[in-house]
A = this chain, B = another copy of it.
Amino acid sequence: MSRADPTCSPNDGIAKLVDNHKDRFAAGVATLAFNNPDAALTEIDRAIEDLGLRGIQIGTDVNGRPLDSPDLMAVYETMASHDLPIFIHPSRNYLAPDYPGEVESKYNLFSLIGWPHATSMAMMRLACSGILERFPTLKFITHHAGGTIPYLAKRIELADRRELPRPIGDYLRLFFGDTAVQGNTANLICARTFFGPDHLLFGTDFPFNRNISMNLRTIEEMGIPIPDTEKILKENARRLLRLT
């Protein structure tokens, strides 16, 4: 892999890492430059078909634009045709102030509570805009167990007046969430109640959190049946990423 190679992207590196350490990595996902939608589509096909990656990652916004922006429709269509998931990671940074008169986010709040909110916003825009109605097989995996959506679900369902064929909760339950909740068992129980055991996947938030045994313990502390734990730890990921 040469630096001068025009096809050299972070995705080549990720694919090589997975190939070289199959005992540690079940799969990798692609990172894309969404500022160039045509090139992104070509790279999705290359990353999945040539490099063997098993999904893509997208931010909660693309250069400030929401995930229901029209130029992302081709990306969703492509990922639906590949039948592989889109991982949503929060992308807000400290340069976005939390209050009008300020120049940047204070106290790290853009991340501490801004990231889960940005995840919820992205999920709501995907649901309310009808994208999940248009691409019913498209799969989105959200970080931190669905942002704050499971916590706010009843509020959203009670107040929603969208003109969509199905209730808003039906769309929101199409999302998947990882279990990276930093040991908050009550949080994870709330997320499991909302998503059900088929839509949660084990996640660690490494390297932000390095205590992997805490992640495992939080799942144990939910007190759910063993088959559900197996789904969360292995089977859901196998199914979504289409691993053999």
Contact A112 B187 (CB under 8 A): no
Q: Which residues of B contact A189 (CB under 8 A)?
A: 186, 189-190
Contact A124 B112 (CB under 8 A): yes
Q: Mark A64-101, 1 if CB is under 8 A from B, else 0.
A: 11100000000000000000000000000000001111
Measured between alpha carbons, how far is A218 from B206 in the docked complex, in Å?
Answer: 36
Q: Which residues of B contact A98 (CB under 8 A)?
A: 66, 121
Q: Mark A138-154, 1 if CB is under 8 A from B, else 0.
A: 00000010001111111
Tell me if A103 is interfacial: C-beta within 8 Å of chain B.
no
Partner among B116, B148, B149, B209 whose Cβ is within 8 Å of the Cβ of A158: B209
Contact B109 A154 (CB under 8 A): no
- For A218, give the chain B residue with the smallest CB separation: B154
Residues of A within 8 A of B (CB): 61, 64-66, 98-102, 106-109, 111-113, 116-117, 120-121, 124-125, 128-129, 144, 148-162, 181-187, 189-190, 193-194, 208-209
